[in-house]
Structure 1
Amino acid sequence: MNAQGRTIEMPGLIDLQVNGYRGVDFCDPALTAGAFARACRWILEAAATAFVPTLITSSRRTYEHNLPIIAEVLDSPEFRGRVLGIHLEGPFINPQAGARGAHKAEWISPPDVGYLKRLLKWARGKAVILTLAADVDGAEDLARCAQDHGAAVFLGHHLAGEEHLRRLAMAGATAVTHLGNGVPAQLHRHNNPVVAALGEDRLAATLITDGQHLPAAMIKTILRTKGPANCAVISDIAHLAGLSPGRYEVGGQPVVLADSGRIYDPATGYLAGSSATMLECMNYLASLDLLGADQLAAVAFDNPLRLIGRQPHEIAAGPKIHYDTAARYLYRVLPAPVNLKGPRLGQRP
């Protein structure tokens, strides 16, 4: 702590959902090992202590090309204990508009254990999370297959009800991916996937606290219902983070990066990822004054690791993260000397 007894060193930030950064899209069919490694360095310098690169629903050709490249880079000593595996968000999700979000409909696959085994083979044992829809026939078989290959099963991009979630929890699913998102804008007031997930005690929740994806009241509701011990903050950061506002593509779909940082599909208005880093997401959450320092550490570090079966001692040291309890503000402690034009959100020189 500092002289006023208000600065606490945090254990770190673990981000389970990173889609790319500064123009490097992990789903780019032309992805190279050099570009992926470069993006990893940027993320580890600016955004997280450790993270899980994520591929949203993609073409088979993209999976076959990108997964081995990512797996090979993950094997390098440079990223050991910092880049923790691969998150497959899709392709086994609900194809209906709203549920699929920014995922391209033509690349969504019905449950197919054979296809999943190919994806896991291309990932060379590095897949640590599979996000799938709970409401598609055969979801339980996919869940068991993924677990047999060492991947945790998360549920999302679906229209699942209580019974769907109950069955998948019994089949070993452990969490809901970005709870409150990946669903249609309008839902039945009671029978909907958000309420069903809140009511299923066996499922933890990941949530995007960037100030865009969830209103403060919804963040509070999730934290109060699930409890901080069963929540993990993610950024869901897109490769557009760090770029100038304009029109781009995410997962083969046209999107707009607005001046506000909001990334959305101009045709539907649905969000298509975040432009906020994990550190920025944690600062927004801290500003809401819902959690104490220990609880902030839990949702940012302890719980994400637990959800993928990792231990704190397996994480390599990164830049120190301090939390000013009076200002409710997290920041990186940068080694000197550092030439900065000026501090960004979540960063102090």
Structure 2
Amino acid sequence: MTGWVDLQVNGYAGVDFNSETLNEAAMIRACQRLRADGVEQCLVTIITAPIAAMTKQVERIVSWIDSQALIRSVVAGLHLEGPFLSPHDGFVGAHPKAAVIPADLDTTKQLLASGCGHVRLLTLAPECDQDAAVTRFLTRQGVVVAAGHSDASLEQLDRCIDAGLKLFTHLGNGCPAVQARHDNIIQRVLSRSDRLWISFIADGHHVPLFALKNYLACIPSDKIIIVSDAISAAGLGPGSYPLAGQTVHVDDDGAAWAECRTHFAGCATPMKRMRQILRDHAGVNEATLDTWMRTNPLRLMDQSPVSTRT
């Protein structure tokens, strides 16, 4: 495998993976564009929605993974980002607050059943997972558990790490713009970077480059993963685009904003552009980029090509 492995793709090239109108032909087009743009494999990301809507969307995408060789070769599985996230402003981000719920085993089993073995990663807020029961269950089922959209305390983080939590999703995002000076979720996660993989959106918008360089410098290189968090706007330039029933506005500089303009809503920057940004503006060499964009995500997903898992 020589292409990149992207663990967080909500849509691509005009195709919204969270749309109720998504069809097989559109899914094939998106996979063709992803492959053409250097992404060898990805996890299709389904964001928070009412459980019935999430399971229906998962079932539809899984049916195409099982029936279409091209989709199966690109889509290595599903990343469920939610619904067990923090409901508080800032932390909830672009996820619909009304659909956010506490983690519970019955709902988790329902989500996994809809995925028929294709759910590979689930992002939750540790403070919403009482006694880390859901984290422990998912880990035993072979699903990678990530924290994200969270204001977990150190104790809550450690409890879930001990239960199997492996990743923190897009650090520096899914949190309020204004936080406590020292004791905040970013600093807590950085303090556990010896025990967690940490992913970043390297578009220069979600985390300013000077801050991103600081974060990257203090995390072990073998714990860093770059994700695109791509939405349907990725690769298309400025304009208005759909994301799970929302409208996202992409500015001339590539920043993707929710309609309220208070927070970003996914990302319009493809992985190939992130590679250029990290190389040209953050001074990251090619070998390290390969580690962050291919080797580490494969290692996280059990040190084997994710397409071989069922």
Q: CA deviation at 1:289?
A: 4.3
Q: CA deviation at 1:156?
A: 0.4
> What is aligned with 1:288?
281
When residues 292 and 93 of structure 1 are mapped into structure 2, their CA distance, relative to the original with a 3 A threshold, is same
Cα-to-partner distance string for 1:167-223 (whole Å, 9 max, x where unaligned):
111110011000111100001011110000000121110001011111122222221
When residues 256 and 152 of structure 1 are mapped into structure 2, their CA distance, relative to the original with a 3 A threshold, is same
1:30-179 aligned at under 5 Å gives the runs 30-75=21-66, 76-138=68-130, 140-179=132-171
Amino acid of the residue matched to residue 192 of structure 1?
Answer: N
Q: Distance in 1 between matches of 2:131 and 2:143?
A: 14
CA contact (8 A) 1:181 1:213 kept: yes
Q: Distance in 2 between matches of 1:240 and 1:133?
A: 27
Amino acid of the residue matched to residue 97 of structure 1?
Answer: D
Please identify, of 34-43 and 232-241, the stretch whose mean Cα deviation from structure 2 is larger: 34-43
Q: Distance in 1 between matches of 2:249 and 2:63?
A: 32
When residues 251 and 224 of structure 1 are mapped into structure 2, their CA distance, relative to the original with a 3 A threshold, is same
The partner residue of 2:2 within 11, 31, 35 is: 11
Q: Distance in 2 between matches of 1:72 and 1:50?
A: 18
> What is aligned with 1:194?
186
Cα-to-partner distance string for 1:281-315 (whole Å, 9 max, x where unaligned):
11111113443322111001100111111425968
Q: CA deviation at 1:279?
A: 1.1
CA contact (8 A) 1:37 1:73 kept: no
Identity level (%):
34
Q: Distance in 2 between matches of 1:180 and 1:149?
A: 29
> What is aligned with 1:266?
259
Cα-to-partner distance string for 1:306-339 (whole Å, 9 max, x where unaligned):
1111425968xxxxxxxxxxxxxxxxxxxxxxxx
> What is aligned with 2:17?
26
Q: CA deviation at 1:77?
A: 2.7
Q: Distance in 2 between matches of 1:150 and 1:276?
A: 30
Amino acid of the residue matched to residue 50 of structure 2?
Answer: S
Match of 1:85, SS? strand
TM-score normalised by length of structure 2:
0.92
CA contact (8 A) 1:15 1:52 kept: yes
Match of 2:198, SS? strand
Match of 1:194, SS? helix
Matched length: 306
Amino acid of the residue matched to residue 82 of structure 1?
Answer: V
Amino acid of the residue matched to residue 275 of structure 2?
Answer: M
CA contact (8 A) 2:144 2:301 kept: yes
1:295-334 aligned at under 5 Å gives the runs 295-312=288-305
Cα-to-partner distance string for 1:24-81 (whole Å, 9 max, x where unaligned):
1111122222322221222112241111110111222322321112112222333444
Gaps in structure 2 of 5+ consecutive residues: none
Please identify, of 58-67 and 106-115, the stretch whose mean Cα deviation from structure 2 is larger: 58-67
TM-score normalised by length of structure 1:
0.82
CA contact (8 A) 1:220 1:290 kept: no
Q: Distance in 1 between matches of 2:173 and 2:195?
A: 19
Gaps in structure 1 of 5+ consecutive residues: 1-9, 316-349
Match of 2:188, SS? helix
Q: Distance in 1 between matches of 2:303 and 2:59?
A: 22
